[in-house]
Amino acid sequence: MSEQALSERPPTENEVRAASEAARLLAKALTPAGLPISVEKNGDQFQLELPAPLGQLMLDVLTHVGRGEMITLVPYGAELTTKEAADLLNVSRPFLVKLLDEGVIGHHKVGSHRRIRASELLAYKAKRDEERRAALTELQRLGQEFDAD
């Protein structure tokens, strides 16, 4: 089972434990200046310092795995299939295709297959999430007004 990528399966108990321990140690070592890392291989020891944003990225990945979550890293310039894009948005593939056909999310075709740039999908997701946050804030405001009456 462990030969599959973590984007295709949940982590094993051993992977969850290892990721949790690594995240705990890295969180202690991460500073605003960066993340010092020491690696030993065949008796040779290598030292490096990752910039803080890269250290935080490593910590974020390990934290998700430590919670037993599946993860997928998507490069900003990647092109996604409709299934990958739907999975990333947590919507059905037919719903995503409808959004593509309506021009809500840009895409192009490779033969008869649609491809969506990760940058376009992430921009749509950010806009959607912001609209949801605004609607939630408005509902909270209305609820407070109603309670005050």
Please state, in angstroms and rounded to a whole number, the distance separating the CA atoms of residues 130 and 123. 11
Please indicate, yes or no, whether residues 62 and 86 belong to a single structural domain of this protein: no
Domain that holds residue 50: 13-66
Nearest to 80 by CA among 113, 47, 57: 113
Copy the structure tokens of residue 33: 């200046």
Nearest to 50 by CA among 42, 39, 41, 40: 39
Would you give per-residue pLDDT tens digits along the chain (149 residues)? 457 788 778 899 999 999 999 999 999 999 999 999 999 999 999 999 999 999 999 999 999 999 999 888 888 889 999 999 998 899 999 999 999 999 999 999 999 999 999 999 999 999 999 999 999 999 998 888 888 76
Q: Is residue 74 part of a domain?
A: no
Please indicate, yes or no, whether residues 99 and 128 belong to a single structural domain of this protein: yes
Please state, in angstroms and rounded to a whole number, the distance separating the CA atoms of residues 11 and 96. 28
Measured CA to CA in angstroms, residue 8 lies from 16, 66, 73 at distances of: 15, 16, 12
Please indicate, yes or no, whether residues 37 and 58 belong to a single structural domain of this protein: yes
